[in-house]
Homo-oligomer: A and B are copies of this chain.
């Protein structure tokens, strides 16, 4: 079958163990024999069987990444941040998409534990934390990305969802809008709740009594969903003059939905997104949005995970919170047609 240390050992006339030591650059070995063994391995095109090594050492060199949807550029960038960092440290990453479906997330964790990954990054955003407790019980190093838990003591890397939503809403308020609708993902997602709360806070501070009609949830974060939700919102009476979308993917769909029912951005309705995916700036109407450093967040999450893996779990939990920033583009109108001068809180 495939060539093994045993083969090399026989050729070199040493024990398997010595081969192992040579190939793993252990200190307790003669430089000479090491070179010799390495040369033979080279010639035979030997590639070590990582899974056998994992089994024997109880140490895996792969990590798991559980993510809602790779097709969403925001998550894709985070995934790259993770993968690049993992690779740099000799780790591979198994990616599993969940489409925000709780059962999928649970299955993903089971699968990853089955492979005995060295650790898991949970980017999916299901509100239930049972899986997580289970993982903790199984001693699997874990980092939450884009979400956190108040009850559980885990590392996490997030953006300040509430603040971001607050800034976005405030921006719209400052432009003079009052009837501001919001389109969101499923209620079970923690960050959906956080961003909603930021929105509510801003509305409340502005003394605006909000109609519940203006807050609507979709089943997922895909553009198609955003389209539907925006249509629905624009058909309310009176219709909103501004919409805040939970994320850019929904916002992109919202653009289409708004257009479909005959309205124009920003003339009839202002739109703000969240994430600042690379396409936001290039849309038909460039999108005003909240910036998150997706790649960096992925990298950070991975670095923390790797640290926790190598530290054997004995270290204080880390909580990294990135600051959201507003990127003003055309989807809320230019300064000429703004009612109030824009103040970036």
Contact = CB atoms under 8 A, between A and B. Distances in A.
Question: How many copies altogether?
Answer: 2
Nearest to A48: B114
Nearest to A107: B87
Interface in A52-82: 52, 54-55, 58, 60, 62, 69-71, 73, 76-77, 79-80
Given A279-B279, A282-B283, A284-B284, A49 B114 contact: yes
A115 B118 CA distance: 14
A91 B51 CA distance: 16
A1 B1 CA distance: 32
Interface residues of A, number: 51
Contacts of A77: 71
Given A58-B1, A94-B92, A223-B278, A113 B47 contact: yes
B84 A80 contact: no
Interface of A: 1-2, 45, 47-52, 54-55, 58, 60, 62, 69-71, 73, 76-77, 79-80, 83-84, 87, 92-97, 110-116, 134, 138, 223, 252, 255-256, 278-279, 282-286
The 9 closest A-B pairs by CB, nearest first: A50-B114, A279-B279, A51-B51, A50-B115, A76-B76, A71-B76, A92-B94, A70-B76, A47-B113
Given A2-B138, A84-B97, A284-B286, 14 more contacts: A2-B116, A48-B114, A49-B114, A51-B60, A55-B55, A70-B70, A70-B80, A71-B76, A87-B96, A93-B95, A94-B95, A255-B282, A279-B282, A284-B285
